[in-house]
Amino acid sequence: MRKALQIAGMSLSALFGNWARSILTTLGIVIGVAAVILIMSLGAGVQSQITGQLDELGPNLITVAPGSGGASEAGAAPDEGGGPGESAAAVSTLTTKDAGAVAKLPSVIEASSSVSVTLPIEGAGYSFTGVDPSYQEISSVKLQTGRFVQDDNELVLTAASAKDLLNSGPEASVGETLAIRGEDYEVVGISRESTGGGFAAGAASSYMITGDALSLSGAENVSQITALAKNPDAVDATARDISAELKAAHGGAEDFSVTTQEQLLSSFTQITNVLTIGLTGIAGISLLVGGIGVMNIMLVSVTERTREIGVRKALGASNADVLSQFLLEAVLLSVFGGLVGIGVGVGVSALLPTLSANLATAVTLNSVLIASGASVLIGIIFGVLPAYRSAGLQPVEALRRE
């Protein structure tokens, strides 16, 4: 124990004796560890956001989308009377009848069709989502004021669209009318923008009834159907019921895909995990570069301290004592860089969300442990060669060199 403390003291003394070089040597480790912490915290932050937003929608939400099983991807039906700047969402074989059939299933609370369109109003294009009245409850749509669409010729606008088109605030806009294709539409509500951070920040939408959206855009089919399962514990069974119902309605063609929230979360988790691992691997290159820097400096240190090594061995120090000292110096350099890097990474991770609401970070214990372990491992791996070289010096030869 006494010898170990003596070796540790000598290692620290050597490092502090040349503190400027020690600090410069650790820069590569600092950058590498900080990058690992930052990337992993960004990945964890995105994952947390996705989980939170899916949880907000509820575990019993089921989405039906077109395109699976070799579905044909037909374009929107042409609108001969349409003007420039108008388009409808890509059309599948899903229809409003399909949405009605899904809503009638015993295992479903309610269902809504939806279709995204861009319509010309006062010379500019504005995006709307055509939905059924039940969509508000299904997708947890929040309103700033007013109510959700219930009938034809009704609109819910975003606050920005209301200001642009009506030149009035949210409260004053409710009850106003807008002319679209020669028909008057009453503004019955203003949707609320998301106040949360991340990819859904500010994601307010404008809504109208699905029938109006299809009629105005010239489309015949809807782009999506969303449904709520009655039993949150039997969502998979409900998804199978929906799939069977639609397959029968489509003449046996499975030209759609049915997805549960759990499946969505699993897909997002796989994507974020792959990205996080890949980017962390790239950041790990900085750690390797930092480790090479530590090894080079330690090799230089061995050369500079040849006489010191010779004197120590002449006074009875064993090869193991010398090896331990130089290996410990390399590990201490790497650990010091790792600790500073963790501090920098945590600090930057905490700073990023204050700079942009679209950035979310979450520093986890795993990221800190991985970064700490990596810095220790780098010190050991890249400290072995200098340590063995120092231990291999013979006392007489070492003293003769000086």
31-56 pLDDT, tens per residue?
Answer: 999 999 999 999 888 888 777 777 66
Predicted local distance difference test score (pLDDT) of residue 85: 36
Mean of pLDDT values over 123-132: 89
Alpha-carbon 308 to chain mean position = 53
Average pLDDT, the chain: 83
Over residues 373-401, mean pLDDT = 81
Please write the tens of the pLDDT for every residue from 279-302: 888 888 888 888 998 999 888 888
| Tokens (6 digits) for 140 | 């947890």
Q: Which residue has the higher pLDDT, 333 or 397?
A: 333
Confidence (pLDDT) at 111 = 92
The residue ranges of DSSP E strands in 234-390, in sequence order, are 256-260
Determine the pLDDT at residue 265.
Answer: 82
**What's residue 398's pLDDT?**
57
| Cβ–Cβ under 8 Å, residues 165 and 157 | yes
Tell me: pLDDT of 401 over 70: no
CB 85 within 8 Å of CB 125: yes
pLDDT of residue 201: 44
The pLDDT of residue 273: 86
Contact 374, 36 (CB under 8 A): yes
Q: If pLDDT is split at 50, 70 and 90, which confidence band does 73 have? A: very low
Mean pLDDT across 156-179: 90
Q: Calculate mean pLDDT across residues 153-182.
A: 90
Q: Which residue has the tokens 């070799």?
A: 70
Task: Name which residue leads in pLDDT, 398 or 368.
Answer: 368
Quickly tell me which residue has 């063995």 as its tokens.
388
pTM as predicted: 0.65
The pLDDT value given to residue 182: 86
Question: What is the per-residue pLDDT for 354?
Answer: 85
Number of H helices, E strands in the chain: 14, 11
pLDDT confidence tier of residue 272, bands split at 50, 70 and 90: confident
pLDDT above 50: residue 313: yes
High-pLDDT (> 90) share of the chain, %: 34
What is the band of 188 on the pLDDT scale with cuts at 50, 70, 90?
very high
Band (395; pLDDT cuts 50, 70, 90): low
Q: Which of 143, 119, 116 is nearest to 131 (CA)?
A: 116
Q: What is the DSSP letter of 91?
A: P
Asked if pLDDT for residue 197 goes beyond 60, the answer is no
Distance, in Å, from the CA atom of 191 to the CA atom of 160, rounded to the nearest integer, reads: 10
- Going by pLDDT thresholds of 50, 70 and 90, the confidence category of residue 192 is confident
Assess whether pLDDT exceeds 70 at residue 396: no
Whether 260 and 126 have beta carbons less than 8 Å apart is answered as no
Q: What is the DSSP letter of 250?
A: T
Confidence bin at 340 (pLDDT 50/70/90):
very high
pLDDT of residue 90: 37
Q: What is the pLDDT of residue 157?
A: 93
